[in-house]
Amino acid sequence: MTTLVRWNPRNRMRMINEFDRAFGDMINDMLDAPTTPAKWGLPLDVAETEDAYTVAAPIPGINPDDIDITLEDDVLTIKGETSSETNEENTRYHLRERRFGTFSRSLRFPVAVNSDAVAANYVNGVLTLTIPKAEEVKPKRIAISVGS
């Protein structure tokens, strides 16, 4: 039977230890469970210049033909699937951090982009997309004429 303990802000360390214990057990249970494919998010780096956006996504170990990239209504979507290597029957993993399963990530651009001029490059496991901004949203420089 558990007892209620009055909250004491000085007992923060005890609370942190309880969380670590609870979540540590959950993580250990997941490591012991049979591995099944799962859906995971794709980390992205997005940079902007005056003319374009650059999106970089680390996707190591996947065939570029297995990556699906779409750009519709200024929403970029990157999808794909990685498959697990076959496990030997008598192998027990102590740590398994490589992800496998389906992945998907969508990103809405805040301004109109030119979907006809997107360039995609895949080098050393990193997918890099260059998405130009639409001409109507690019900043226009206005020249000043000096008159007398």
User: What are the domain boundaries of the chain?
Assistant: 45-85+97-137
pLDDT of residue 33: 47
For the beta sheet containing 75-82, the strands, ordered from the edge strand earlier in sequence to the opposite edge, are: 67-72, 75-82, 101-108
Q: What span, in angstroms and rounded, lies between the C-alpha atoms of 36 and 49?
A: 41
Average pLDDT over residues 35-47: 73
Inter-residue contact 56 to 128 (CB < 8 Å): yes
pLDDT of residue 98: 74
Inter-residue contact 57 to 69 (CB < 8 Å): no
Per residue in 75-86, pLDDT (tens digit) is 999 998 887 766
Q: Which helix (H) or strand (E) holds 12?
A: helix 12-32
One DSSP character per residue, 57-81 reads EE-TT--GGGEEEEEETTEEEEEEE
Per residue in 94-137, pLDDT (tens digit) is 887 777 788 889 999 998 999 999 999 999 999 999 999 988 87
pLDDT of residue 100: 75
Instruction: Write down the pTM of the prediction.
Output: 0.63
Which of the listed CATH numbers 3.30.565.10, 2.60.40.790, 3.40.30.10, 3.40.109.10 matches domain 45-85+97-137? 2.60.40.790
Inter-residue contact 35 to 84 (CB < 8 Å): yes
